[in-house]
Amino acid sequence: MWRTACGLPVRVAERGVQRVWETWTCSYTSSKPSSQSAPTLRTRAEKERRRKEKEEAILGSQHNLTWIKASAKITDIFTAVMLADTTLPFPSSYSPEYVEASWYQWWEKQGFFTPENHDNLPGAVNRSFSMCIPPPNVTGTLHLGHALTVAIEDALARRRRMQGYKVLWVPGCDHAGIATQTVVERMLFREHGKRRKDLSREEFLQEVWKWKKSKGDEIYHQLRKLGASLDWSRACFTMDLGFSSAVTEAFVRMCDSGLIYRSERLVNWSCALESAVSEIEVDSKQLSGKTLLSVPGYQKKVEFGTMFTFAYPLDDGEVTVSTTRPETMLGDVAIAVHPEDPRYQAIHGKHCRHPFTDRLIPIITDATVDVELGTGAVKVTPAHDHTDFLLSQRHGLPCLTVIGGDEGAHLSLPPSPQGVRRFDAREHVIDALREKKLFRGKEDHAMSLPLCSRSGDVIEPLLKKQWFMHCEEMAQRAIQAVDEGQLEIIPHFYTKTWKSWLSNISDWCISRQLWWGHQIPAYRVSLPGSELWVWGRSQAEARERAAVKYEVTPDSVTLTQDPDVLDTWFSSGLFPFAMLGWPQQTSDLRQFYPNTILETGSDLIFFWVARMVMLGTELTGQLPFKQVLLHSLVRDKHGRKMSKSLGNVIDPLDVISGISLEVRTHTHTLKEGNLDPRESVVAMEAQSKDFPKGIPECGTDALRFALCSYKAQGEWFSPQAFRLEKEKGQTPDQSLFCYFTLGSSPSSLEVLHRWVCSRLYSTVLQCEQGFDRYELHSVTAALHSFWLHSLCDIYLVRKPRVASEARVSGSVLFHCVTVSLALLSPFMPFLTEELWQRLRPLSGQGEDGVTTSLCLQSYPQSAHLVRHECVVCSTHEDTLLVARSLRAQSGVTKERPDSKSHLSNVFDAALFPSTGVTKCLYR
């Protein structure tokens, strides 16, 4: 039935078919009652007794000693056994642990996942497929969002490998500067009572590297448990020596070209982190009015969503201003009004006096002032507000910083004493205004509050000297690449978002005031005069550059490296080519760059994807990939994004192996995590509500299949444990059912054989179309429908009428099972490998001692299948489904009636329409 060889047999060899019948028919006939005896209705207790008898019979055989031991601790045995013994019988019921214990170690040891194995593929073609995994942060373990990424990407990689492509899928981890430093600081304080500044920079970095080794190994273990067919020989970490060299090279090149520059500008400052963050790391919380919110570092909640009004005295009156941040009035340098506002025509160009510093403050006019906001007169604080900063540049106003970066402490300016934090200082300022009788009241005010997505702290705009990157020109090239079809974004509705964001991009602040990360390769030159900076790939190169630039001898130059580190997203943006050895022209870079596709979550389209496109195009002259596939976010059943602080993060290993609620909440996921004590309480309460009975064992294959079964190209979805159990209970068990019933002749009707082959052809075609459109949910739906409804519900339920047709039936069944196993392999690699290896000897394969795997066999193609036409196929399948639905609705039991089965009559009517479908249903 195959037109060309693809690793699956054209027909089952005669002796193979005979062996199928001898092996399986006898085992089934010996346990089945005689066809002459009257059917009996088995009770649940009887079924359980028979199940235990079968299990004892299997475990009692001599060659099952391994399984008896494995039932206690299966991973200990199969870690050492690299190739599973497929001569052993299965357990009586499907066990994911039994099937998934050893195959991955064998695949990895054989080198099946490396591109160097390409020449051993049976259908090798001269085409390559390359992809990088979105490097997970070493802040902790993976969650279901990562599992979704792995399931989708592994399905794509495995299918291409089976199509004969030279596949490279590179694993890696990201150092995640802010997040990792934060969790290590918490760990040090919790376990040793020390803060970061109690240690030297070198001592602290040693602690971070210990953390990285522990969490990095755990992440890689999780990826292996998920069955990810990654090339581990090329694993990449963003702080590795080679990758760090690439980061330095990128910084130096972009400084030389003028794209990176140093300037004093307003940045988004997180007082909790004591570091700048980028604009896309700032979340906006909408407030409708007065709202009390928790702020890191404050015991009491802080009031937001309130507009305060106070007066500035004039020589002949006063001008009232409204603001949501009265504490910043200590840094006011002007008052702005609209030039056409009639209320303030008389005071244009005048000055008012600051009530606390006695400074004269000019009253200026600017058309950007909103006359309907507050009093129509606004205070201008350029050092602490982005809008005011732009206004100050237009009018040449000075910038006065009154808030420091160390947890938001004020400087020593009256009436606020030195060291008072910003929101505590707010109360000092208001009280002082009341004393001077300048306070005019407050009212609720709808506003947008900027919050740090990393720390939850309220963002403080601060004036800082930092390193920035010009983005406008690179952003335009990224837009042009999409417009001209060089870069495809899937789903296409993200294209509009892509253009909108890149069209309004601002320069990127790439400095971070951290210890963990790539220290900026820029050096301050100690020479008389203004602030002087140079950069270089090493300190020696920087010294030579300084000597040339400032016309001094190298020996007279003293350099001090910038203590700041680069934004994590700068190094992550280099991943597609730095992982291949850039800037060196390695063979991997020549062969696998640009990458074929990037697959990641839709929330990273700006954090990571856009920056990779901009940096890749600038540094290599090529787009880093040709397609971008974005999947939706995984959320909990309440629609919330998975977050450790919410306690809704699920470890995929907990789904694979199962876990009780007590272990999950008290001794495993939460206790071993790095949550704040208050967050731990909230998390444990959430776990108790969402998983009152814990999480049942589902297995890797069921988890992957379930994740790929959702429509990933949407806004978000919420996979639930009950759905995973459903996938576990149906798809794997149906596969085993087909395996155990290979010895039974399903039917002797030629039309039924043609029908099931036509269904197989249609399934292969749907799989091709689904993969080509990256709609994996349609692929899994087609496979699920074929296995469950076509093969198991219809083809296997018929008993043989003519014994001489058993060989034909066995051949057709073998063909359907082996082809569909190959189709299913990218989603369920463990179970399909187990079944395929067990089927090989039955067809006469595997006796030559050649070691091979299903993951290396050719992926089925509709062009290689004979297309069978069956006129009644859709009619009889639909009829059966309707009949079974009616039986379920009517409460018909499974007890066999004395007369001929109604279901059999439905089947006959479907095969022979002349008897009438309607007549049959009413019969």
Provide the sign of the torsion angle of the four alpha carbons 519, 215, 182, 147, taken in this order: positive
What CA–CA distance (Å, rounded) separates 339 from 605?
42
Domain borders along the chain are 1-33+721-870, 46-110, 280-461, 644-697, 871-923
Overall average pLDDT of the 876-892 stretch: 70
Question: Which of these, 593, 597, 595, 566, lies nearest to 582 by C-alpha position?
Answer: 593
Do you find a cis peptide bond into 33, omega within 30 degrees of 0? no
Quick check: helix, strand or coil at residue 611?
helix
- Say whether pLDDT at 473 is over 60: yes
Tell me the Cα Rg of the chain.
34
- Say whether pLDDT at 742 is over 70: no
What CA–CA distance (Å, rounded) separates 269 from 465?
12
Q: Give the residue ranges of DSSP H helices in 416-485.
A: 422-435, 472-483
Question: Which of these, 567, 426, 458, 549, lies nearest to 510 by C-alpha position?
Answer: 567
The residues, ordered by sequence, that sit 6+ positions from 618 with a Cβ below 8 Å of its Cβ are 254, 259, 474
What CA–CA distance (Å, rounded) separates 248 from 865?
53
Q: Which two tokens stand for residue 485?
A: 């079809």
What CA–CA distance (Å, rounded) separates 127 from 161?
10
**Which band of pLDDT confidence, cut at 50, 70 and 90, is reported for residue 163?**
very high
Q: Which two tokens stand for residue 916?
A: 């009438």
What CA–CA distance (Å, rounded) separates 297 from 116?
54
The predicted structure's pLDDT at residue 789: 85
The residues, ordered by sequence, that sit 6+ positions from 357 with a Cβ below 8 Å of its Cβ are 330, 413, 414
What CA–CA distance (Å, rounded) separates 362 from 198?
46
**Which band of pLDDT confidence, cut at 50, 70 and 90, is reported for residue 32?**
very low
The residues, ordered by sequence, that sit 6+ positions from 595 with a Cβ below 8 Å of its Cβ are 130, 131, 132, 576, 624, 625, 626
**Which band of pLDDT confidence, cut at 50, 70 and 90, is reported for residue 729?**
very low
The predicted structure's pLDDT at residue 707: 92
Q: Which two tokens stand for residue 95?
A: 């066990």
**Which band of pLDDT confidence, cut at 50, 70 and 90, is reported for residue 893?**
low
Q: Which two tokens stand for residue 286?
A: 């909408």
- Say whether pLDDT at 338 is over 90: yes
Overall average pLDDT of the 296-300 stretch: 87
- Say whether pLDDT at 177 is over 50: yes
Overall average pLDDT of the 631-655 stretch: 77
pLDDT: which is higher, 98 or 805: 98
> Torsion angle of alpha carbons 335, 340, 344, 348, nearest 10°?
60
Q: What is the mean pLDDT of the chain?
A: 80
pTM for the whole thing?
0.82
Most confident option among 397-411, 663-677, 726-740: 397-411
What CA–CA distance (Å, rounded) separates 38 from 902?
18
**Which band of pLDDT confidence, cut at 50, 70 and 90, is reported for residue 41?**
very low
The predicted structure's pLDDT at residue 230: 97
Do you find a cis peptide bond into 491, omega within 30 degrees of 0? yes
Lowest mean pLDDT among 342-351, 402-411, 511-520: 402-411
Q: Give the residue ranges of DSSP H helices in 36-80.
A: 44-60, 65-80
What CA–CA distance (Å, rounded) separates 486 from 463?
39
Q: Give the percent of the chain with pLDDT over 70.
A: 75
The predicted structure's pLDDT at residue 70: 35
Is the Cβ–Cβ distance between 433 and 256 less than 8 Å?
no
pLDDT: which is higher, 408 or 610: 610
Question: Which of these, 321, 614, 348, lies nearest to 480 by C-alpha position?
Answer: 614
Cite the beta strand spans of 718-809 per DSSP E.
none
Pick left, alpha or beta for residue 435 (phi over 0 → left; psi -120 to 50 → alpha; otherwise beta): alpha
The predicted structure's pLDDT at residue 877: 64
The residues, ordered by sequence, that sit 6+ positions from 340 with a Cβ below 8 Å of its Cβ are none
Side-chain-side CA neighbours of 366 within 13 Å: the count stands at 24
The predicted structure's pLDDT at residue 803: 55
- Say whether pLDDT at 612 is over 50: yes
- Say whether pLDDT at 546 is over 80: yes
What CA–CA distance (Å, rounded) separates 7 from 854?
8
At the topology level, CATH places domain 280-461 in: Isoleucyl-tRNA Synthetase; domain 2 (3.90.740)
* Maximum Cα interatomic distance, the chain, rounded to a whole number of Å: 115
The CATH label, of 3.10.20.70, 3.40.50.150, 3.40.50.280, 1.10.730.10, for the domain at 1-33+721-870 is 1.10.730.10
The single-letter code of the amino acid at 34 is: S
The predicted structure's pLDDT at residue 12: 35
Question: Which of these, 762, 775, 787, 785, lies nearest to 708 by C-alpha position?
Answer: 775
What CA–CA distance (Å, rounded) separates 574 from 684?
38
**Which band of pLDDT confidence, cut at 50, 70 and 90, is reported for residue 83?**
low
How many other C-beta atoms can be found within 10 angstroms of the C-beta atom of residue 362?
A: 15
- Say whether pLDDT at 243 is over 80: yes
Digit-coded pLDDT (tens) for 677-695: 666 666 666 667 777 778 8
**Helices H / strands E in the chain, number of each:** 31, 29
The predicted structure's pLDDT at residue 875: 63
Question: Which of these, 139, 177, 160, lies nearest to 229 by C-alpha position?
Answer: 160
Is the Cβ–Cβ distance between 151 and 708 less than 8 Å?
yes
Q: Which two tokens stand for residue 283?
A: 């979340």
Is the Cβ–Cβ distance between 781 and 788 less than 8 Å?
no
The residues, ordered by sequence, that sit 6+ positions from 803 with a Cβ below 8 Å of its Cβ are 745
* Chain-centre distance for alpha carbon 715: 14
The single-letter code of the amino acid at 413 is: L
Is the Cβ–Cβ distance between 78 and 104 less than 8 Å?
no
**Which band of pLDDT confidence, cut at 50, 70 and 90, is reported for residue 341?**
very high
* Percent of the chain as helix, strand, coil, to the nearest 5: 50, 15, 35
Is the Cβ–Cβ distance between 422 and 403 less than 8 Å?
yes
Overall average pLDDT of the 43-64 stretch: 50
Label each residue of 474-536 as H, E or C. Answer: HHHHHHHHHHCCCCEEECCCHHHHHHHHHHCCCCEECEECCCCCCECCEEEECCCCCCCEEEC
Q: Per residue in 797-821, is it b (16+ CB within 10 Å) or e — as a string? A: ebeeeeeebbbbbbbbbbbbbbbbb
**Which band of pLDDT confidence, cut at 50, 70 and 90, is reported for residue 916?**
very low
The predicted structure's pLDDT at residue 47: 52
Is the Cβ–Cβ distance between 557 and 543 less than 8 Å?
yes
- Say whether pLDDT at 212 is over 80: yes
**Which band of pLDDT confidence, cut at 50, 70 and 90, is reported for residue 811?**
confident
Local structure of residue 138 (DSSP, 8 states)? T
Q: Give the percent of the chain with pLDDT over 90.
A: 51
The predicted structure's pLDDT at residue 24: 34
